Amino acid sequence: MPEGQQDHTTPPGFLSHSQRSSPLSLGRAGSVTDSVFPPSEDGDAHAHNTSLNKSVYDSLRHGGSTSLIESLQSQVKLKDTEVQHLQWELSRRDLERVSLQETVTNLSARLEELERSMAGHSELQTQYDALLQMYGEKLEECQELRLDLDDVKEMYKAQIDQLLKKDESG
C-alpha cells in the first residue's frame, strides 16, 4: 500500500504500520519502543534487545529519565486505548456473528418450510391436473348422452307421428 493511504481494514483513528507518527500521536500503530528505540536494520532481535538495554541505560544515565518515563507512560496509555478499542471491536464482531448465525438458522428453517410447501404444491398440481382431465372427460360424456337423448326423443316423436297417421288412414 502506498504511503499516505489508509488501509480500509484499519479501524478509524488508527494508522497502518507504515504511517507512524510521533510517539505521542493517538493514531500511532506499531511497537511502542520503535519510536524511542528504533529497531536494528538487520532485524536481529537479540541485537535490538541489547541496543534497547544500552539505550535505556544511556538515557537514564544522562538525565533523560523524566522525559523517557513520560514518553513510555504516554505510549502505554496509547496501547491501553488501542487494546480497549480492539476489545470493543471484538465484542461487536461477536455480536454480529451471533446475529448472522441466527439469521442463517432462520433462513435455513424457512428454506426447509418452502421446500416442503413446494413438494406439497407439486403433489396438489398433479392431483388437480388429473381431476381436470377427468372433469373434461365427464363433460364430453354428458354432451354425448344429451345428443343421444335428443336423438331418442326425435325417434319417439317420429314413431308417434307414424302411429297417428296409420290410425287416421286405417
Q: Give whole-number Cα distances, 14 to 10, 98, 131, 165, in Å.
A: 6, 26, 71, 118
Q: Which residues contact 75 (CB under 8 A, 6 or more apart)?
A: 23, 32, 35, 36
- Residue ranges per domain, the chain? 64-169
Cell match 505521542: residue? Answer: 24
- Each of the 170 residues of the chain gets a pLDDT tens digit; together they read 444 444 445 454 444 444 444 444 444 444 444 544 444 444 454 544 555 556 656 666 666 688 888 999 999 999 999 999 999 999 999 999 999 999 999 999 999 999 999 999 999 999 999 999 999 999 999 999 999 999 999 999 999 999 999 888 86
- Would you say the pTM of this structure is higher than 0.75? no
CA 22 to chain centre: 40
CA 51 to chain centre: 50
Query: What per-residue confidence (pLDDT) applies to 149?
Result: 96
